[in-house]
Structure 1
Amino acid sequence: MAFTVTDYVLARLSEQHVDTLFGVPAAYCASLFDEAGAHGIRTVVTASDLEAGYAVDGYARMKGLGVVAVAYGVGTLSMINAIAGAFVERSPVVVVNGGPSVPHLNNLKNFDVLFSHSTGRPDTDLSAYKLVTANAARAEKVSEVPAVVDNAITIAIRRKRPVYIEINKDLWGLTCPRPAGSLSRANPAAGTEKQLAATIVGLLRAATSPLIVVGTEIQRYGLADKAAALIAKLGVRWSTALIAKSTLVEQGNGWVGVYNPPHSAPTAANAVANADLILMLGCVFPGGYTTLVTNGTNRIISVYDGKVKIKSGAKQNAEIGALVTELVTEAAKAPPEPVPPGVVPPTPAPATGPLTYRQVFERVGAVLDDSWIVIPDTSLGVFSAANLPMKKRDMFVCGGVWASIGYSVAAAVGVSFGSSRRPLVISGDGGFHMTAQALATMARYGRNPVVIVIDNGIYAYEQFILDKAYFSNPGAQPKPYVVLSDWDYVKFANGLGVQFARSVDTAAAFDSALAAAKASNAPALIVTSADAHGLPAELP
Structure 2
Amino acid sequence: MAFTVADYLLNRLSQQQVDTLFGVPAAFCAELFDAVGAHNIKPVVTASDLEAGYAADGYARTKGLGAVAVANGVGMLSMINAIAGAFVERSPVVVINGGPNTRNLTNLRDFDVLFSHSTGQPDTDLAAYKLVTASAARAGKASEVPAVVDNAIATAVKNKRPVYVEINRDIWNLACPMPGGPLSVSNPAAGTEKQLATTIVGLIRGATSPLILVGTEIQRYGLADKVAELIAKLGIRWSTPLLAKSTLAEQGNGWVGVYAPPNSTPAAETAVEHADLLVTLGCVFPSSFAPLVTSGSNRIVSVYDGKVKIKGGPKQNAEIGALVAALVTEAAKAPPELVPAAVDPPAPTPAAGALTYRQVFERIGAALDNSWIVVPDTFIGISSAANLPVKGRNSFMCGAVWASIGHSVAAAVGASFGSSRRPLVICGDGGFHMTAQALSTVVRYGRNPVFVVIDNGIYAFEQFLIDDAYFSDPNAQPKPYVVLNRWDFVKFANGLGVQSAQSVNSAAAFDLALSAAKASSAPALIVAKVNPHDLPAELSLAELPQSAPSGVRQ
Q: Which residue of 2 aligns with 1:149?
A: 149
Looking at structure 1, the residues matched to 516 and 208 of structure 2 have their Cα atoms a distance apart, in angstroms, of: 50
Q: Which residue of 2 aligns with 1:135?
A: 135
Amino acid at match of 1:168: N
Q: Which residue of 2 aligns with 1:438?
A: 438
Q: Output aligned runs, 1:280-359, within 5 Å.
A: 280-359=280-359
| 1:38, distance to aligned residue in structure 2 (A) | 1.0
Looking at structure 1, the residues matched to 165 and 506 of structure 2 have their Cα atoms a distance apart, in angstroms, of: 50
| 1:103, distance to aligned residue in structure 2 (A) | 0.8
Q: Which residue of 1 aligns with 2:158?
A: 158
SS, match of residue 75 in structure 1: helix
Q: Which residue of 2 aligns with 1:116?
A: 116
Range moving further from structure 2, 515-524 or 313-322: 515-524
Looking at structure 2, the residues matched to 503 and 109 of structure 1 have their Cα atoms a distance apart, in angstroms, of: 56
Looking at structure 2, the residues matched to 362 and 277 of structure 1 have their Cα atoms a distance apart, in angstroms, of: 33
Looking at structure 1, the residues matched to 520 and 335 of structure 2 have their Cα atoms a distance apart, in angstroms, of: 50
Looking at structure 1, the residues matched to 295 and 520 of structure 2 have their Cα atoms a distance apart, in angstroms, of: 51
Looking at structure 1, the residues matched to 391 and 439 of structure 2 have their Cα atoms a distance apart, in angstroms, of: 28
Q: Which residue of 1 aligns with 2:13?
A: 13
| 1:273, distance to aligned residue in structure 2 (A) | 1.8
Q: Which residue of 2 aligns with 1:479?
A: 479
Amino acid at match of 1:324: V
Q: Which residue of 1 aligns with 2:404?
A: 404
Looking at structure 2, the residues matched to 465 and 189 of structure 1 have their Cα atoms a distance apart, in angstroms, of: 44
Amino acid at match of 2:446: G
Equivalent pairs counted in the alignment come to 540
Instruction: Please state if 1:507 is matched with 2:502.
Output: no
Q: Which residue of 2 aligns with 1:450?
A: 450
| 1:94, distance to aligned residue in structure 2 (A) | 0.1
Amino acid at match of 1:439: L
| 1:346, distance to aligned residue in structure 2 (A) | 1.1
Looking at structure 2, the residues matched to 420 and 125 of structure 1 have their Cα atoms a distance apart, in angstroms, of: 34
SS, match of residue 391 in structure 1: coil
Instruction: Please state if 1:224 is matched with 2:242.
Output: no
| 1:495, distance to aligned residue in structure 2 (A) | 0.2
| 1:238, distance to aligned residue in structure 2 (A) | 0.4
Amino acid at match of 2:432: F
**1:100-151 deviations in Å (ceiling 9; x for gaps):** 0111100000000000000000000000000000000000111110000000
| 1:152, distance to aligned residue in structure 2 (A) | 0.2
Q: Which residue of 1 aligns with 2:100?
A: 100
Looking at structure 2, the residues matched to 422 and 98 of structure 1 have their Cα atoms a distance apart, in angstroms, of: 33
Q: Which residue of 1 aligns with 2:167?
A: 167
| 1:303, distance to aligned residue in structure 2 (A) | 0.4
SS, match of residue 174 in structure 1: coil
| 1:5, distance to aligned residue in structure 2 (A) | 0.4
Q: Which residue of 2 aligns with 1:461?
A: 461
Q: Which residue of 1 aligns with 2:35?
A: 35
Range moving further from structure 2, 149-158 or 512-521: 512-521
**1:141-179 deviations in Å (ceiling 9; x for gaps):** 111100000000000000000000001111111100000
| 1:32, distance to aligned residue in structure 2 (A) | 1.1
| 1:391, distance to aligned residue in structure 2 (A) | 2.1
Looking at structure 2, the residues matched to 467 and 287 of structure 1 have their Cα atoms a distance apart, in angstroms, of: 20
Looking at structure 1, the residues matched to 534 and 129 of structure 2 have their Cα atoms a distance apart, in angstroms, of: 40
Looking at structure 2, the residues matched to 268 and 340 of structure 1 have their Cα atoms a distance apart, in angstroms, of: 13
Q: Which residue of 1 aligns with 2:381?
A: 381
- TM-score, with normalisation over the residues of structure 2? 0.97
**1:442-490 deviations in Å (ceiling 9; x for gaps):** 0111100000000000000111111111111111111100000010000
| 1:44, distance to aligned residue in structure 2 (A) | 0.4
Q: Which residue of 2 aligns with 1:416?
A: 416
Looking at structure 2, the residues matched to 3 and 406 of structure 1 have their Cα atoms a distance apart, in angstroms, of: 39
Amino acid at match of 1:158: K
Instruction: Please state if 1:240 is matched with 2:240.
Output: yes
Looking at structure 2, the residues matched to 31 and 93 of structure 1 have their Cα atoms a distance apart, in angstroms, of: 20
Q: Which residue of 2 aligns with 1:61?
A: 61
| 1:312, distance to aligned residue in structure 2 (A) | 1.1
**1:387-415 deviations in Å (ceiling 9; x for gaps):** 00022111000000000000000000000
Amino acid at match of 1:4: T
| 1:532, distance to aligned residue in structure 2 (A) | 0.5
Amino acid at match of 2:89: E
Amino acid at match of 1:477: Q
Amino acid at match of 1:75: G
Amino acid at match of 1:12: R
Q: Which residue of 2 aligns with 1:191?
A: 191
Looking at structure 2, the residues matched to 135 and 71 of structure 1 have their Cα atoms a distance apart, in angstroms, of: 19
Looking at structure 1, the residues matched to 404 and 273 of structure 2 have their Cα atoms a distance apart, in angstroms, of: 28
Percent identical among aligned pairs is: 76
Q: Which residue of 2 aligns with 1:275?
A: 275
Instruction: Please state if 1:126 is matched with 2:132.
Output: no
Looking at structure 1, the residues matched to 483 and 504 of structure 2 have their Cα atoms a distance apart, in angstroms, of: 21
SS, match of residue 538 in structure 1: helix
**1:356-390 deviations in Å (ceiling 9; x for gaps):** 00000000000000000000000011100000002
Looking at structure 2, the residues matched to 208 and 94 of structure 1 have their Cα atoms a distance apart, in angstroms, of: 45
Looking at structure 2, the residues matched to 83 and 65 of structure 1 have their Cα atoms a distance apart, in angstroms, of: 13
Looking at structure 2, the residues matched to 390 and 355 of structure 1 have their Cα atoms a distance apart, in angstroms, of: 22
| 1:272, distance to aligned residue in structure 2 (A) | 1.1
Moved segments of 4+, more than 6 Å: none
Instruction: Please state if 1:426 is matched with 2:426.
Output: yes
Looking at structure 2, the residues matched to 261 and 311 of structure 1 have their Cα atoms a distance apart, in angstroms, of: 21
Looking at structure 1, the residues matched to 520 and 252 of structure 2 have their Cα atoms a distance apart, in angstroms, of: 34
Amino acid at match of 1:395: S
Amino acid at match of 2:405: I
SS, match of residue 51 in structure 1: helix
Q: Output aligned runs, 1:487-506, within 5 Å.
A: 487-506=487-506
Q: Output aligned runs, 1:208-219, within 5 Å.
A: 208-219=208-219
Q: Which residue of 2 aligns with 1:257?
A: 257
Amino acid at match of 2:355: L
Aligned-CA RMSD value: 0.5
Amino acid at match of 1:97: N
SS, match of residue 171 in structure 1: coil
Looking at structure 2, the residues matched to 73 and 386 of structure 1 have their Cα atoms a distance apart, in angstroms, of: 37
Q: Which runs of 5+ in 2 are unaligned?
A: 541-554
SS, match of residue 182 in structure 2: coil
Q: Which runs of 5+ in 1 are unaligned?
A: none
Amino acid at match of 1:497: G
Looking at structure 2, the residues matched to 333 and 96 of structure 1 have their Cα atoms a distance apart, in angstroms, of: 48
SS, match of residue 312 in structure 2: coil
